Every structure is written in structure tokens, then in C-alpha cells.
Chain A
Amino acid sequence: MSTKTLDFDLDSAWRLHPQVSVRPERFGALLYHFGTRRLSFLKSRALLTVVSSLDSQPSARAACAGAGIGPAELPAYARALATLAASQMICRKTAS
């Protein structure tokens, strides 16, 4: 069983980057970052639910739980969120 260390901080508060637009699609969603002018894809509706609820949840872990993501699936979602963080599609909520 793959238990690769995740370099994504599930317990922090995250949000969609303010310059990112989300367009729901049949397969999930398209994301576009107006600052980096990069396109990204969310390949499931559940991941879209997670990403959309980040802002209103105290942590990414809570957003996943709220979207009905079980412990077995959590690592895969954490990896997806890590990729989104690396491309600046999501960012940490700062005390602003």
C-alpha cells in the first residue's frame, strides 16, 4: 500500500487563489489562473466540492470530510490538493 509522505498540509486553512476562476464541467471542472495564465483540471465532481468549500472550512481536512471523502481516499485528495497548491491554484488563507 502506497503511503508516500504527503507534502500537503491538510490541517491548515486553504482557499482558492483570488485570481482563479472555476468552471464546472461534466467530468469535474476547469480552473483558470489569470495571473499565471494557466489552465488546470479537476477530474472529479467530489474534488470540485472539496476545492469549492476550502474557503468556508477551517482546514483542508475538514473540507474533505465535508465532501464525504473517507480516510482511504484522503491521500489521493491530498496529492491532488498539493498539485493545485504547487501551481498556485489554491493558497493558504493568511490572517488578513
Chain B
Amino acid sequence: MTTAAAPLVAEFRFGLDAPICLTWELTYACNLSCVHCLSSSGRRDPRELTTAECKRVIDELERMQVFYVNIGGGEPTVRPDFWELVDYATAHHVGVKFSTNGVKITPEVASRLAGSDYIDVQISLDGATAEVNDAVRGRGSFATAVRAMQNLAAAGFAGFKLSVVMTRHNVGQLNEFKAIADRFGAQLRITRLRPSGRGADVWTELHPTPAQQRELYDWLVAHGENVLTGDSFFHLAGYGQELPGLNMCGAGRVVCLIDPVGDVYACPFAIHDAFLAGNVRSAAGFAGVWRDSELFADLRRPQSGGACTSCSAFDACQGGCMAAKFFTGLPLDGPDPECVRGFGEAALATADATAAPRPSGDHSHRTAPVPISIGPRPADSGAAASAGLIERSMPDRACDQSPLAGFTPR
């Protein structure tokens, strides 16, 4: 009566008063340039929400009783006001789970994080070896993530998450990922690679092969009870057994994304104008977008299964992931590109790949990645800046300041 999800799925399809799972990307700035970045992050956007605007969003989330937000980016911890916002959220009964590559998780930060029940940390790692990880996430990123995990474990932070995007090169490392998580007292979380953001450019080469999808499914069935998946593999339910979690697309129904400039999208993997519901800066705020946007109202109406309706697996897989179809140029009411029955491959073979929609924004670094942190204008820098306690400053005008202004190489 309390936990069986099956009948609730029907309720969830019609949407809830507030999202269960809200992703909030605080900045497009990132010290890395992962080849599959779902938000094409790299450079900060001058229009990003200010500290005060972020706090207003948190106030709204508190009123809406959103239990926790999944904060990401970019690399959220490079925002100078990141810890201030985390403290503000937890003080307002909004829990924070943030994703990081680990760059700012020093021993001091780790101790601080370990002291709060309302903060959870997710360390991103896409290879169980430096060779596999760094090929996707950049040189040195394996070592950075491992150091962060060592610091968290040493600080006594039990049960933080080790988050892995499954690719062709790491499906074979599942047991090794589990071993790494166990070594640091962390919980393994694996999610699906989507053709979103820069991921659109590498999806064809990086997404698991059909044989690997089966391997992944079998591994989840055998070992999955303590492994989180972000409910992202429901397209694999077509193999037979439903995987633990919510087997449905939650976009705009129980899930959404707030991006760094306040735009609200149906899900984190759908940064495209077609899935843009509104902006938190509008008069009615985030709550107004969530409750009244036409796009979300559409998503909450019964959906057509289209060509999939007659397939015996449809009840299990629900046609798969909307974003995966969209960015590979497939119709939204047809099979997922990674359909376990092979209908997606057939559809891709005849689809015009050049006609696939391109992700709307691109904040990628224009050159090779450089280690950056967001700093104030030079006039504001000083002792506070070197202590990492700098106030966030706004550019004079949009596009009038380099996102690297004030950046000091170290």
C-alpha cells in the first residue's frame, strides 16, 4: 500500500503538483570538456541566475515541498556562491544532491559535507580505469575523482554516490565500478548515455552495442538491488523483467530541468526549444511554469504509442526515452533508438541523420580545456577571493565580459 509503484505510474503520468525529481544546473562553466556532456557545458553564460535569483527559486521549491534538488552543471562547485546556495537550500528544507567531477572536494569540504544529513554527493566517473575514463572525461579526471572519493571516505561520508554513464567502453567494467564504490563506502549509480548536448556527436560511437545492452540488463537483474539507475534504463524492461524503480518517462510529469539561465525544460536530456516550458524569471516563477505550461500540459495527456503500440514489449518499455528519439531524428511515437527488439536500429537505418534536431545551446570551450574557476572582476579580487569566499559578480552587460575574465592560471 505504501511502496508498490505499479498503480502509481498511472497517477504519475498525469503529473504531480510539484516535481519529485528536479535537476538544476547552476552553471554552464566547467573545468572539464567531457565528450558526451549532456548540456554542452564549458563556458559560463553571462545570463546565469544570480545568487538572489537562485535563492528565490529555492524559496519556491520550499513552498512547493520539493524534497530535494539534483544540482549539476557544468561543474556546480565552481560557482563562487555554490556553498552559500547549498546552505540556503538545506536551511529551507530543500535537500541537495549534487553531481561533481570532484575538483573542489578537498578534505575540508568533505568533512563539512559529511556533517549534513541534507546533502548528498555524486562523483562522476565514466571508466573504472584512468585509460577508459580519461578518454571521455579528459586527462587527469580519473585521479581527480578518486582523490575526491578518498577525501569523502576519510571524512566518514558514507553512502555518497559513484555515478557512471554507461558506454561501449565501460559496460565490461561493471564489476570493477562496483568494487570501487565498495572500497569507498559509496553506492554505485549507473545511467544511460543519451544523445543530448555534445553526446549527440559521439552517441553513435559510444552507446552500448545490442549485446552490451543485454549484458547490462542481466547484470542489473543479478546485482541491481543496491545499484541506483536514475530509473534511466526502462527501455531495457522490454527484455522481460521490469527493473527496480519507475518504469516510465517522467519528463514534465515528475521530472524537469532548470538550466543555468533559468529556462525550464521537460528533462535534463532535452535541452532544445521543443522541450522548453518557460523560465523561472517569469512573473509566475517556477511554480507557474510547472503547473501551467502548455508543453507540460501536453506531456501529461495520454500519449500515443504510435508504431510501438502493437509490440508485445510496449507495456514494459513504454516506447523508451523521448530525448533519445528526438536527438537521433526518430519520431517521438516510434521506437527508442536502442529498442531491445531491434526496431530502433531499423528506424535509424532509414532515418535521415542530418535532419536530426541539434541541441539548442552550446557553451563548449572553444579551445582545449583549461582549469578555471569563476572569479569576480579584477577590481573585486583580493584576500577574500584567494580564500574562496568571493561574492558573485555580474557582467556589466550580456556578452560584454569574457567568461574567463579574472581567471588566474594556477
A and B: interacting chains: yes
Question: Contact residues of A with B, CB < 8 Å?
Answer: 19, 21, 23, 25-27, 30-32, 34-35, 37, 39-44, 47, 76, 79-80, 83-84, 87, 89
Q: A30-B20, A34-B117 are in contact. Are A23 and B1 (CB under 8 A)?
A: no
Evaluate contact between B65 and A41: CB separation under 8 angstroms.
Answer: no
Evaluate contact between B1 and A32: CB separation under 8 angstroms.
Answer: no
Q: A40-B2, A41-B3 are in contact. Are A34 and B95 (CB under 8 A)?
A: yes
Evaluate contact between B67 and A43: CB separation under 8 angstroms.
Answer: no
Question: Contact residues of B with A, CB < 8 Å?
Answer: 1-3, 5, 7-8, 11, 16-18, 20, 65, 67-68, 93, 95, 97, 117-118, 120, 159
Q: CA separation between A73 and B61, bound complex, in Å?
A: 36
Q: CA separation between A21 and B7, bound complex, in Å?
A: 22
Instruction: Report B186 CB to chain A, min CB distance, Å.
Output: 13
Q: CA separation between A21 and B117, bound complex, in Å?
A: 13
With CB as the reference atom, state the residue of chain A lying closest to B16: A25
Q: From DSSP, what is the main secondary structure of chain A's interface residues?
A: mixed
Residues of chain A with a CB closer than 8 A to B8's CB: 27, 41, 43
With CB as the reference atom, state the residue of chain B lying closest to A76: B1
Q: Which of B2, B5, B16, B97 has the most CB of A within 10 A?
A: B2
Q: CA separation between A43 and B11, bound complex, in Å?
A: 10
With CB as the reference atom, state the residue of chain A lying closest to B161: A37
User: Which one, B5, B67, B120, contacts A23 given CB within 8 A?
Assistant: B67
Q: A19-B117, A39-B20 are in contact. Are A87 and B1 (CB under 8 A)?
A: no
User: Which one, A32, A47, A76, contacts B67 given CB within 8 A?
Assistant: A32
Q: CA separation between A79 and B2, bound complex, in Å?
A: 9
User: Which one, B11, B16, B118, B159, contacts A34 given CB within 8 A?
Assistant: B118
User: Which one, B16, B18, B93, B117, contacts A35 given CB within 8 A?
Assistant: B117
Q: CA separation between A44 and B159, bound complex, in Å?
A: 32
Residues of chain B with a CB closer than 8 A to A76's CB: 1
Evaluate contact between A37 and B1: CB separation under 8 angstroms.
Answer: no
